[in-house]
Structure 1
Amino acid sequence: MNKIIVRPAALVKQGMLTLYATSLKVSDLLIPNFYSVETLDPDDDNDKGYQRLLNRARAKRLADYIVDGQDTKDAFLPTSIFMATDKNIDFNPTNNTIEINIDEIGPFSVVDGQHRVEGLRMATEKDTRVLDFEVPVNIAINLPKIAQMCHFLIVNTTQKSVEKGVEQRIYQRLTQALEIEDIPNLPKWISKTIEKGEDDLALKYVDFLNSDFESPWLNKIKMANETNNEGSINQQSFVKSIKKYVLVANNPITIQTTEKQHKIFLNYWKAITNILGIEEPTVLFKYNGVELFCKFSVPFFNKMINMPDFKVATMQQLLEQAFEEVEGDYAGVGHTDFWTKGSTASFLNSGAIAVINSEMVKALHKTNFKRDIEI
């Protein structure tokens, strides 16, 4: 198979970005080592991928459409595939062509359009005429991997949505790369998010809780791009609650070192589960449990400032006293039955969670735990 492709192309300059607007036949795309998709691996801490998982059903729908249009010659796919390489491509200005040597340039990263590429590949398995089908392609050259990830983020947050958990992971990696790698110009809201670094900090909490062998959350959080459905809550929701309630100025846990923050927060959940249990069926590890106890962590850790330590036993005693003082319709919040699937906690909305938190805060203020431990 020919590994050198010559195609007519238009040179496009967008600031520091150099693009070639061209078209490729599907047969070109399928040359071995022509392209790769940098998929985010949720199980690999060192993974540098950023793409969402492939939705095969979505790709198959496109394949069926392309195949159905072969006889009538009305298959229509005008949207450009965006590919990138960190290498240069020769451009001939006299005849406006580019020459791609796959062995030297490949594989191109598919920054945007992986479902189109896969759909076209699947279509060729059903009808070889698709090999001659042409698709518009924009190729960015001399674009480092970190910049390719940035452009994926820009395309998928300004033009269409990307799974929030994947977006959080990209924000985390960009935050970590701020001081060591050149990052291209980004929209203001993306830049502010990266510079603030909240996704990075919150994801470190979530990763710690999900991986520590003593954690009641061990393997209970469904990470971005995970294909199994075993997790009781997804990464996106947990990160959102941590950002909203834990990583805030009035939560005293944030004055501790990062490592100590994680251990204190883990002890907090150990104390909670020592009282409420971890056995299924429970909704404690669903959104309602996370939202309530992340919210409650602000007054709880403010109370803990006056405690002798942050040990599990100390937190558990304080929680038990607070639960005993809760009055009203939600007095059972400190009992296992309250959190059993199908029981009260299963049907809480945001308003009810706010009310329970308010009642728990009142109960917390009634406790006289400091005096009790000094006796």
Structure 2
Amino acid sequence: MDNKISRPASIVRQGELTLYATSLKVSDLLISNFYSVEILDPDDQTDKGYQRLLNKARAKKLADYIVTGQETKDAFLPTSVFLATDKDIDFNPLNNTIEINIDKVGPFSVVDGQHRIEGLKMAADKDKRVLDFEIPVNIATNLSKIAQMCHFLIVNTTQKSVEKGVEQRIYARLTNALEIEDIPNLPRWISNSVQKGEDEKALQYVDFLNKNNDGPWYNRIEMANDDNKNATVNQKSFVKSIKRYVLVANNPLTIYSSDKQHKIFSNYWKAITNILGTNEPSVLFKYNGVELFCKFCVPFFNKLINIGDFKVTTIEPLLTQVFDNMEGDYAGVGHTEFWVKGGKASFLNSGAINVINTEMVKALHQSNLVKDIDI
């Protein structure tokens, strides 16, 4: 196939953003190196991808519709695909055409529309008539990779929702890019989150827990775009709990470096699991366990910091005292049986978790662990 395409187009200027509104045939999309989809890789911290995983079932559904429409000639796909390049495209204002030299400007990044493109490719494999099917396309030029990521976030949070875990990753990357790279103007709610940097900080906790093979959370957290069959809770939920209960002003651990905070938090969970066990199936490693022990950790750390020791061997006996001091309906919270799947912990709602946390804080105040000092 020829690696040059000439298409009629209208130029659209939105501030410093230049767009070309045009159409492309499905055959154009099949040109070698025409486009790429920057998929977010949860295991690569240097990765620059931002797209969610492709849902093949969704793409196939579109493909079946397009193929069926070839006979009746009523296949209809009016929504524009959004492509972007960090290079310029030749535009002829005399006849309103663009000339795309794929060898020079390709591959285009698919900012929005990967499922439509994949569905059309699948349809073309089934019926060659689809190669001549045209789709509306908006092409942004001179758009840096980080700007493309921002536009993906804007499109998918102002018009339709993006998977929360992917959104958290993008927020974290934008926080890291502040004062280093040029970032386009963002909606206020996105900008505020990026400036606060809570997603980035919370993800550091979650990444540490999930990759620490010496800790109880090793490989138990399903990261964004990661199909982890061993996971018991997803990144989205864990990050949300850490943002809400751990990254708070009264957390005494903020005086320490982030690395030390992560290690202390991991030791906290090691002590919990030393007492309650790690055998599956256990609700301890699901939402209710995460929510309760993230909620309880700051009062616990405020007690622990007076001892001045964050080793597992110090944390565990203090936790044991807390569990032993528990009374009433939830006195069993410190026993393995309480957390077995199908047991009492499985049916806790947010109100019950709040009650347990309150009772645990009361039990914490009754404890009196003093660190032994070698003389």
TM-score (norm 2): 0.98
Partner of 1:233: 233
Give the letter for the 2:358 counterpart: S
Match of 1:267 in 2: 267
2:89 matches 1:85: no
- What do residues 213-262 of structure 1 show as CA deviations (whole Å, max 9, x unaligned)? 21110000000001233210000000000000000001112221111101
Change (3 A) 1:105 1:150: same
- Determine whether 1:199 maps to 2:199: yes
Aligned ranges 1:275-354 → 2 under 5 Å: 275-354=275-354
Greater mean deviation of Cα atoms: 137-146 or 301-310: 301-310
Question: What corresponds to 2:361 in structure 1?
Answer: 361
Partner of 1:158: 158
Letter in 2 for 1:3: N
Contiguous gaps of at least 5 residues in structure 1: none
Task: Please give the residue correspondences for 1:120-199 in structure 2 after superposition, counting only pairs within 5 Å.
Answer: 120-199=120-199
Q: Provide, for residues 263-296 of structure 1, a one-character-per-residue CA deviation record: whole Å limited to 9, x for no partner.
A: 1101100111111111112111100000000000
Report the aligned-residue RMSD.
1.1
- Cα distance in 2 for residues equivalent to 1:47 and 1:308: 38
What CA distance in whole angstroms lies between the structure 2 residues aligned with 1:60 and 1:274? 47
- Counterpart amino acid of residue 126 in structure 2: K
Q: CA deviation at 1:343?
A: 0.8
Aligned to 2:18: 18
1:374 offset after TM fit, Å?
6.7
- Tell me what 1:119 maps to: 119
Secondary structure at 1:139's aligned position in 2?
Answer: strand
What is the distance in 1 between the residues matched to 2:88 and 2:358?
60
Q: Aligned letter for 1:317?
A: P
- Structure 1 residue matching 2:9: 3-state secondary structure: strand
What is the DSSP-based 3-state SS (H/G/I as helix, E as strand, rest coil) of the residue aligned with 1:27? helix
C-alpha separation in 2, matches of 1:189 and 1:273: 38
Q: Deviations over 1:144-163 (max 9, x none)?
A: 00000000000000000000
Q: Distance in 2 between matches of 1:306 and 1:134?
A: 69
Structure 1 residues 53-72: aligned runs within 5 Å:
53-72=53-72
Matched with 1:218 is 218
Distance in 1 of aligned mates of 2:198 and 2:365? 30
Distance in 2 (CA, whole Å) between partners of 1:81 and 1:215 is: 44
CA distance in 1, matches of 2:308, 2:156: 48
Where does structure 2 lack aligned partners over 5 or more consecutive residues?
A: none
Give the letter for the 1:249 counterpart. Answer: A
Match of 2:105 in 1: 105
Q: Structure 1 stretch 249-258 or stretch 213-222: which is displaced more?
A: 249-258
Match of residue 46 from structure 2: 46
Residue 224 of structure 1 aligns to a residue in which SS?
coil
Q: Which residue of 2 aligns with 1:27?
A: 27
- What CA deviation, in whole Å up to 9, does each residue of 1:1-31 have, x standing for no partner? 1111000000000001000000000000111
What amino acid does structure 2 have at the position aligned with 1:199?
Answer: D
Residue 62 of structure 1: SS of its match in structure 2? Answer: helix
Distance 1:77 1:59 in 2: 13
Deviation at 1:127, TM superposition (A): 0.6
Aligned mates of 1:280, 1:340 — CA distance in 2: 8
Secondary structure at the aligned position of 2:32 is classed as coil
Amino acid at match of 1:189: W
Task: State percent identity of aligned pairs.
Answer: 75
